[in-house]
Amino acid sequence: MPDFPYINARVRAMRSRLLPSARLEELLGTPTMEAFLQGLATTPYASDLQEALVRYQGLRAVDEALTHNVRRSARAILGFADDRPRALIEVVLLRWDLANLRVIVRGKHAGRPAEEIVGALVPAGNLSEVVLKEMAGYPDLTALAGTLEALNHPLAGPLARGVANYVTSKDLLAIELRLDLGYAEWGLRRTGGRGGDAVVLRGVLQAEIDAANVKTALKLAAAGSLPEAQRLRFFIPGGAVVAESLFRALSSPQTQAPAWERLKVHGFPVGDLPTNLVTFERELDMYTARALARRYLGDPLGLDIIIGYLAMKSVEVANLRLIARGKFLSLPREAVRREMVVV
């Protein structure tokens, strides 16, 4: 019966194949897309890129190669485990399903083409690359919800309820709330118990719930003085810092400033009350990515190694995609570097 020390020994070997920062800098410094492809062909992504180039060219080939690589990595880790370790790893991997569904929902809401949506997906969760590509091509969100239901996916119900509301309201935030709430409830149920690894993962989930609640509260406050009952519809219970009372205060323009100070006192990683929500959300997302990556330095006999590795792998793939798009669009190196995440 594989346990975490057995699994982690293999994950450490996978960690050794991540690209060092100097290698990423070399790829960032390549002058053209062709030069970037040549450089990528000398990394552990070589076999995936070679296979992708048989069917695609340029940016599409890069996306395909990165997609296949991260999928194989995630499936390999899951294949090392069974029983309780596997159940906890599945909670970690389902975060990618949540992220991918958000990408598809936002893309459909904005009317983006399927190819553009596919380029932003990372199929490391339960939803396969084939299924995700199919869903990205659906004409509407109702079909997306139907596919999840047919697959008996844990987020099927939350998405269906969000889409039912969206059909009449066109409220994107309501769908994202349903997805976040559904994942939080499912994940917290799966991490029940007193085991150290369950406690670690529960802490990760609670931090993500807190971050989601803070983002939502700021958006609601920016929308004006909405009725309290309407604001509380968007609250996700289960966080470690943002209780319902704090969310209520944060989401109201009249009480937001003192509530923000309370948030800082409770240890939430924020500075001054932000004036630019897009910038704030990006900074919070970067902080979260770094915090997850640092988990790799945690308990060497537990789930920390896996959480940290998957976070680092996700960041690496995102950075490579940014570099590839920079080459495709002939963007200045510094413009691309500013968007990259360093963990």
Which amino acid, residue 205?
A: L
Mean pLDDT, residues 199-208: 92
Instruction: Report whether 147 contacts 135 (CB < 8 A).
Output: yes
pLDDT in tens, 100-155: 999 999 999 999 999 889 888 888 899 988 999 999 999 889 999 999 999 999 99
33, two tokens: 């897309």
H helix intervals, the chain:
4-15, 21-28, 33-40, 46-53, 58-79, 83-110, 114-118, 129-136, 141-150, 156-169, 172-190, 196-222, 228-232, 244-250, 256-265, 277-294, 304-329, 333-339
Statement: residue 2 has pLDDT above 70: no
- Binned at pLDDT 50, 70 and 90, residue 82 comes out as confident
pLDDT in tens, 154-166: 999 999 999 998 8
**Cα–Cα dist 311/15, whole Å:** 11
**Cα–Cα dist 308/62, whole Å:** 24
Mean pLDDT, residues 172-196: 86
- Binned at pLDDT 50, 70 and 90, residue 191 comes out as confident
pLDDT for the residue 193: 67
pTM over 0.75: yes
Statement: residue 197 has pLDDT above 70: yes
- Binned at pLDDT 50, 70 and 90, residue 336 comes out as very high
